Amino acid sequence: MELVTMKELMEEAHRGHYAVPAFNVCNLETIQGVLEEAEEMQAPVILQTHWSEAYYSTPQTVVDMVRSVGKNKRIRAAVHLDHGSSYEDAVRCIQGGFNSVMYDGSQLPLDENIRILKQVVELAGYAKVTVEGEIGTIGQTSEMGEKLEKSYLTSPKDAQKLVDETQIDCLAVAIGNAHGFYTENPKLDFDRLKEITEVVKIPLVLHGGTGIPEEQIQKAITMGVCKVNFSTVLRKSFISEMQAFMEADPENLGLMDILDAGKNSMKAAVKESVEMCMCQGKL
């Protein structure tokens, strides 16, 4: 396995007219599922953890598991902090070996978001780590389901200001995408996306990939989206299959058997996401 920066993967995706899927992982089995399917499909991938998941096992443990599982696999991947909530989150994850971090200051005033992002970019520059920022909110809830106090779509003008002043590597935008399951059919605002791409010249990130129709995801990719996040679809498939396994065989106390059932189900969701991003065979 070759661990490379997320920036490198996104630049290759931009040139190749595809996107790199970013999968939220939190334990050994989710990491195994993503990397096994990535190798089979010969697709570049990003393994990412929410800051709370990274702290659950420690950031270094996450990186060590990725390295161990990926050893001897033909894969190109990045390890990314998803929705870091503070400068300190970025510090801890960089120290732990993450080669990409996100600082999410979307709930702050624009100038405060910019101020902290600049600090993260300065730190990441010394470590040669990719930085993702966010302006606009991905729906009305956070990655972990908490209700956001302030919900708003990305302003092209504010996006340009944030990118110009921080020099981040990629930008997460809010164009009608949302975390979790969509309560109605999602409809991405492609006019807004076009306006953003006219003033922002770095790769864009689409969070909330679960449930967005394939044709909308692929249209967004043609317009400059180089990374698409998938989390809920993996969690749902993993948990549902574990529940089914335990209901069918309640006397089986083999944790490996139960977790393996979840992992194998999750791999189907990984495969579908890779295909939506059009990155199979792109190593």
Q: Annotated catalytic sites, by residue?
A: 82
Tokens linked to 162: 């944030």
Residues 6 or more apart from 183 whose CB is under 8 A from it? none
Tokens linked to 26: 């939190």
Distance (Å, whole) CA 5 – CA 76: 10
Which SS3 state, helix, strand or coil, does residue 82 take?
strand
Which SS3 state, helix, strand or coil, does residue 235 take?
helix
Least Cα distance to 168 among 89, 88, 104 occurs for 104
Q: Is 271 exposed, middle or buried (0-12, 13-18, 19+ CB in 10 A)?
A: middle
